[in-house]
Structure 1
Amino acid sequence: MNVAEQGARESSARHLVVPRVLVFLTSVNPESGAREVLLLKGAPTKRLWANKYNGLGGHVEPTEDVYAAAVREVWEEAGLEVKALSLRGVVTIDAGFDEFGRRPGILMFVFVGETTERTFWPSAEGTLTWVAVDALADYPLVDDLFELLPRALEGPFFFGHYAPLPDGTLRYAFQSSGVNPSPS
């Protein structure tokens, strides 16, 4: 197939998406033995999720696949080279209608990986922190992470769909594929 045969420009009424990646790196704390996940507390000046904890990630560039984007984002945001990431879930996010009457959305690919490297560089995006998995409920996480993160870290491969509610918040729905994730 060539570019013109992809059907991406046929109708402005179709649901078009921006691809993004979200990565959760885990590590064992050498002092406590606790399993921890590396989270980024959004800078107070961030437009999105200021002062809330999220995984690493961002947009997929047109020149890369989603795996390459995940590896690049971990490097850019933490200075960590990851050797292996596993895709654990795919989430479709309906962002509602824009000012032009289009319905753009986001297609988010959720990855996990393990690392023994616990030193990272400062991030302009916010403050990186290793958080004990058992203590996640005590942190101001980005809203969807309370449901998404346990699925990514422990469950089988999942699919998610976020839909806008009248008040502007999102409703989160998840479905398991029944396939157990491959080891990281």
Structure 2
Amino acid sequence: MSLPGQQVQAGRYSVLPRCLSFLLCEEQVLLIRIAEGRGPWSGLLNGIGGHIERGEDPRGAALREIKEETGLILSPSSLYLSGVVTVDVGNSPGIGLYIFVGEIEVSETHSSCEGTPEWIDLEDFDKQTLVEDLPALLPRAIKSYHNKQPYCAVTTFAEDGSPSIHFNP
């Protein structure tokens, strides 16, 4: 693979890489309540994650985000790539979302400027105030983790802004 063959063509659809992680401990999942003043998701629960920085691989970015947002330090082998979702926001660039799942034994975390980590019972997670795609993404990510079969999906948005996720097993 040579650099000249990797050039981005102007006008082609592109995506910004992001990561999202779900950490399991017994029958709970670690989510983060987005801090007030952090945009339209303020006050909602989401997985742990963010942008993949230049030079980072998706798992390395997920590990960094977990450390920054929760204080937890995990080994690379503790995270499993559960899925990849292309988020079509209606223009370019879209979002390329790498979803990871891992199991941990420690449950002590700390807050950050991003928000406050909260352990949520898996049986009750859908009763929480969640970022709107989480009720579809989290169960699918956990299923993929247990089956060891990653999935792919595309998220599109209706005119009213509501997401629709199209899974490809």
Query: Does the pair score TM above 0.5?
Result: yes
The corresponding residue for 1:137 is 126
User: How far apart are 1:7 and its partner, in Å?
Assistant: 3.2
Is the CA contact (8 Å cut-off) linking 2:45 and 2:129 kept in structure 1?
yes
The corresponding residue for 2:82 is 88
Alignment of 1:90-129 (within 5 A): 90-97=84-91, 103-129=92-118
RMSD of the alignment, in Å?
1.3
Say whether residues 1:59 and 2:57 are aligned partners: no
- Which range moves more in the overlay, 105-114 or 119-128? 119-128
Alignment of 1:62-73 (within 5 A): 62-73=54-65
Is the CA contact (8 Å cut-off) linking 1:21 and 1:109 kept in structure 2?
yes
C-alpha distance in structure 2 between counterparts of 1:122 and 1:50, whole Å: 14
Give 5+ residue unaligned stretches, structure 2: none
Say whether residues 1:175 and 2:168 are aligned partners: yes
Describe the SS at the equivalent of 1:70.
Answer: helix
C-alpha distance in structure 2 between counterparts of 1:139 and 1:74, whole Å: 21
% of aligned pairs identical? 38
Deviating beyond 6 angstroms after TM superposition, the runs of 4 or more aligned structure 1 residues are none
The corresponding residue for 1:6 is 6
After superposition, the C-alpha distances for 1:103-158 in whole angstroms (9 at most, x for unaligned) are: 21000000001111111111211121000101112101111110110011124421
C-alpha distance in structure 1 between counterparts of 2:56 and 2:116, whole Å: 27
C-alpha distance in structure 1 between counterparts of 2:39 and 2:111, whole Å: 19
The corresponding residue for 1:181 is none
Give the letter for the 2:19 counterpart.
Answer: V
Is the CA contact (8 Å cut-off) linking 1:22 and 1:110 kept in structure 2?
yes
C-alpha distance in structure 1 between counterparts of 2:35 and 2:59, whole Å: 26
The higher radius of gyration belongs to 1
Across the two proteins, how many residue pairs are aligned to each other? 163
- Which range moves more in the overlay, 148-157 or 67-76? 148-157
The corresponding residue for 1:31 is none
Say whether residues 1:17 and 2:15 are aligned partners: yes
Greater percentage in helix: 2
Say whether residues 1:163 and 2:156 are aligned partners: yes
The corresponding residue for 1:182 is none
User: How far apart are 1:169 and its partner, in Å?
Assistant: 2.7
